[in-house]
């Protein structure tokens, strides 16, 4: 098998590689480094975790060993889709260029422009950047790209997914036509192939594995479950996630949990924390300092569970990740390969578990079609049996876990004084005895004035002779508005009941009435 010493690398580079603990190159390194050293364009296609970073950093360091950087004109450019991947490439450059005097600058978002401007003004040999921040510096007049000798595009398919292809095309046009281009990607979508045909000159195609294949050292599982109700799908899914983590036990040393949406990242991380698990979120909306501290904690083992969006799915080199859990099934099948590629790296064994709902069947079918293999199915972990409520007798009906709390709430409600519950009209009506509604007397049409006067006098006499008790019984039931007035709002109610129409006879009853006749 080929050794690094057989790849015609500079002795200083070989010494740095040896100190890093590497002796033999990976297949992608073995096939990509020689043509890159010859100055040819390289199109590298390999699954994630195969050592693509070293495949372009080593020839880059080797070639830039001779020459000197000029202010604002970097000698080489490395484009990365995410801040984390750019920072990782910067770390790899520091490792392999430790024996040289080469300089580098890292241009990523979330960092002040001032410090980055100072580095560019001094001149750098290697400029590592995300497309957006690079164009920001260029448009501000702080950066010139006419001196780029080597341009590297890493994770080009991820650039496509994140919408960076127009920026990539613009950056290609800003660099010299005579540059050398090293283009690396895990998959080759038609749009990516169009760019390579446009901007690469007779590239050497290096493909060490079938496109979008998972490592054989990764054990894969698919857990499908049906929620009890549609509105409970998210909470029951988080419960299943916690059971999966508990079921794996000590075998789960650490894990990356992937979600499709940033809001789900925060919800899952919060759920795990409330369950007493060591978890932290990472996604694009977080401050760069928080993201860096979270990744550092996961790398050094102080953080066990990293809940991430796809911003962390590409290129993160964390060698010893025991598990990858897909809380959501990725909508693009290629993302599944990149996600599970975070485990089982460098020949280690890993495990990938995917949680799926019936609605995810079409995405699962697309993944299996891409992998040309069926994902092994597994039943969801069983829930822990519910414990009976304290004080429950044998043979009694099972009580839900929330029953004690509900019973306590009911008891507190029952113990409240009547004054606290008297503000509701329904409660007031329930406390009062039922009253008979007053009988409605039919309204008669008066025939003559005398008859009307006699009728009104009879009504007044009848009202005067009626006892107060019977009048109180015939009084109509209180309306909610009157109930509210009785509680203190509005005018106070009179204590003596109104009997009939009182002593006053309305004037309209004393008027003469002459019916009209028609001929």
Instruction: Give the side-chain half-sphere CA count within 13 A for 98.
Output: 12
pLDDT at 180: 96
Q: What angle do CA 337, 331, 224 make, to 5 degrees?
A: 85
**Is the pLDDT at 344 greater than 70, yes or no?**
yes
- Asked if residue 290 has pLDDT above 80, the reply is yes
**How far apart are the C-alpha atoms of 415 and 397, rounded to whole Å?**
26
Residue range 500-515: average pLDDT? 70
For 40, phi and psi rounded to 5 degrees?
A: -90, 155
Using an 8 Å Cβ cutoff, are 439 and 424 in contact?
no
- What CA–CA distances, in Å, run from 253 to 144, 223, 301, 323, 410? 46, 20, 9, 8, 45
Taking only Cα atoms into account, the Rg of the chain, rounded to an integer number of angstroms, comes to 40
| 256: phi then psi, degrees, rounded to nearest 5 | -105, 125
Collapsed DSSP state (helix, strand, coil) of residue 411: helix
pLDDT at 477 over 80: no
Q: What percent of the chain has pLDDT over 70?
A: 72
- Residue 257: band (very low, low, confident or very high) from pLDDT cuts 50, 70, 90: very high
pLDDT at residue 402 is higher than 50: no
Is the pLDDT higher at 52 or at 327?
327
CA distance 275 to 271: 6
Segment 80-84 shows an average pLDDT of 89
The pLDDT confidence band at residue 501, using thresholds 50, 70 and 90, is low
Which band of pLDDT confidence, cut at 50, 70 and 90, is reported for residue 40?
very high
Q: Range with the lowest mean pLDDT among 27-36, 313-322, 492-501?
A: 492-501
Among 24-38, 160-174, 267-281, 498-512, which stretch is predicted with the lowest mean pLDDT?
Answer: 498-512
Token reading at 208: 């060490």
- Of 17, 155, 26, 33, the closest CA to residue 85 belongs to 155
Q: Are 82 and 308 in contact (CB under 8 A)?
A: no
H/E stretch holding 289: helix 288-299
CA–CA dist 44, 182 (Å, integer)? 8
Query: Average of pLDDT values for 427-443?
Result: 49
Q: Report strand pairing: 323-326 vs 305-308.
A: unpaired
Q: Three-state SS for 102? A: coil
Contact 121, 71 (CB under 8 A): yes
- pLDDT (0 to 100) of residue 255: 95
Query: Per-residue pLDDT for 264 more than 90?
Result: yes
Q: Please report the beta strands in 371-419, taking only residues with DSSP state E, as ranges in sequence order.
A: 377-378
pLDDT score at 462: 46
CA end-to-end distance (rounded Å), the chain: 129
CA neighbor of 202 nearest in space, from 391, 385, 329, 41 = 41
Q: CB of 299 within 8 A of CB of 318?
A: yes
Higher pLDDT, 510 or 518: 510
The SS3 assignment for 334 reads: helix
In sequence order, the β-bridge partners of residue 70 are: 73
* Residue 428 confidence (pLDDT) above 70: no
Rounded to whole angstroms, how far apart are CA atoms 221 and 229? 24
Q: What is the pLDDT of residue 246?
A: 94
Residue 516 in this model has a pLDDT that exceeds 50: yes
The answer to whether the beta carbons of residues 305 and 282 sit under 8 Å apart is no
Q: Mean of the per-residue pLDDT values for the chain?
A: 79
Q: Reply yes or no on whether the pLDDT at 312 is more than 50.
A: yes
How far from 214 is each of 152, 158, 273, 350, CA to CA, in Å? 25, 17, 31, 11
Alpha-carbon span 183 to 42, nearest angstrom = 6
Q: 3-state secondary structure string, 214-275?
A: CCCCEEEEEEECCCCCHHHHHHHHHHHHHHHHHHHHHHCCCEEEECCCHHHHHHHHHHHHHC
pLDDT score, position 324? 95
128 phi, psi to nearest 5 deg: -110, 125
Q: What is the dihedral of CA 124, 129, 135, 136, to 10 degrees?
A: -90
Q: How confident is the model at residue 65 (pLDDT cuts 50, 70, 90)?
A: confident
Distance CA 178, CA 227 (A): 58
**pLDDT value, residue 502:** 59
90 CB-near residues (< 8 Å, 6+ apart): 104, 106, 128
Write out the E strands in 46-190: 76-79, 104-107, 126-129, 150-153, 180-185
Tokens coding 516: 């009209």
How large is the average pLDDT for residues 146-168? 90
Res. 230: pLDDT tops 50: yes
Listing DSSP states for 29-95 in one string gives: HHHHHHHHHTT--EEEE--TTS-HHHHHHHHHHHHTTSS--BTTB-SEEEE-SSHHHHHHHHHHHHH
- Specify the pTM: 0.62
CA distance 515 to 519: 13
129 pairs with which residues across the strands?
A: 79, 107
- Asked whether residue 450 carries a pLDDT value surpassing 50, the answer given is no
CA–CA gap between residue 51 and residue 56 (Å, rounded)? 9
Most confident of 308-317, 421-430, 472-481: 308-317
Measured between alpha carbons, how far is 320 from 389 in angstroms, rounded to an integer?
A: 44
Host H or E run for residue 44 = strand 42-45
Domains of the chain with bracketed CATH: 4-207 (3.40.50.300), 218-378 (3.40.50.300)
Model confidence at 292: pLDDT above 80: yes
Cβ atoms of residues 509 and 456 within 8 Å:
yes
């Amino acid at each position: 098998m080929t050794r690094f010493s057989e790849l015609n690398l500079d002795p200083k580079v070989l010494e740095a590689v040896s100190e890093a603990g590497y002796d033999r190159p990976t297949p992608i390194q073995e096939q990509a480094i020689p043509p890159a050293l010859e100055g040819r364009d390289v199109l590298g296609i390999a699954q994630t975790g195969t050592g693509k970073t070293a495949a372009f950093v080593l020839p880059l360091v080797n070639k830039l060993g001779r020459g000197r950087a000029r202010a604002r004109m970097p000698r080489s450019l490395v484009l990365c889709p995410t801040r984390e991947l750019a920072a990782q490439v910067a770390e790899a450059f520091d490792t392999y260029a430790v024996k040289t005097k080469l300089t580098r600058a890292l241009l990523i978002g979330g960092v002040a422009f001032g410090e980055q401007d100072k580095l560019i003004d001094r001149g750098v040999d290697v400029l590592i950047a995300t497309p957006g921040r690079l164009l920001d510096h260029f448009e501000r007049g702080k950066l010139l790209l006419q001196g780029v000798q080597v341009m590297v595009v890493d994770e080009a398919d991820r650039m496509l997914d994140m919408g960076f292809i127009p920026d990539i095309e613009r950056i290609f046009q800003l660099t010299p036509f005579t540059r050398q281009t090293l283009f690396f990607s895990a998959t080759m979508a038609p749009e990516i192939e169009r760019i390579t045909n446009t901007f690469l000159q007779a590239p050497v195609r290096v493909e060490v594995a079938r496109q979008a294949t998972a490592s054989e050292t990764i054990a894969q599982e698919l857990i499908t479950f049906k929620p009890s109700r549609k509105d409970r799908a998210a909470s029951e899914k988080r419960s299943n996630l916690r059971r999966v983590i508990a079921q794996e036990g000590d075998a789960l040393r650490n894990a990356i949990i992937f979600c499709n949406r940033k809001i789900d990242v925060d919800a899952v991380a919060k759920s795990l924390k409330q369950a007493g698990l060591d978890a932290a979120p990472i996604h694009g909306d977080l401050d760069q300092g928080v993201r860096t501290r979270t990744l550092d904690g996961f790398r050094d083992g102080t953080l066990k569970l990293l809940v991430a969006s796809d911003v962390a799915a590409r290129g993160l080199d964390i060698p010893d990740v025991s598990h990858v859990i897909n809380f959501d099934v990725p909508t693009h099948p290629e993302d599944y390969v990149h996600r599970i590629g975070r485990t089982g790296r460098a020949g280690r064994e890993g495990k990938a578990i995917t949680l799926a709902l019936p609605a995810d069947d079409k995405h699962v079918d697309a993944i299996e079609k891409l992998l040309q293999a069926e994902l092994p199915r597994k039943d969801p972990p069983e829930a822990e049996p519910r414990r009976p409520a304290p004080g429950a007798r044998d043979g009694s009906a099972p009580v839900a876990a929330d029953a004690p709390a509900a019973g306590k709430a009911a008891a507190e409600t029952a113990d409240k004084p009547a004054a606290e519950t008297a503000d509701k009209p329904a409660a007031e009506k329930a406390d009062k005895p039922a009253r008979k509604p007053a009988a409605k007397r039919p309204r008669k049409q008066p025939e003559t004035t005398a008859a009307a006067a006699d009728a009104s006098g009879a009504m007044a006499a009848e009202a005067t002779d009626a006892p107060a008790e019977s009048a109180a019984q015939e009084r109509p039931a209180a309306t909610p508005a009157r109930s509210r007035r009785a509680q203190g709002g509005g005018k106070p109610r009179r204590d003596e009941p109104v009997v009939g129409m009182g002593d006053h006879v309305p004037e309209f009853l004393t008027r003469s009435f002459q019916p009209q006749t028609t001929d």
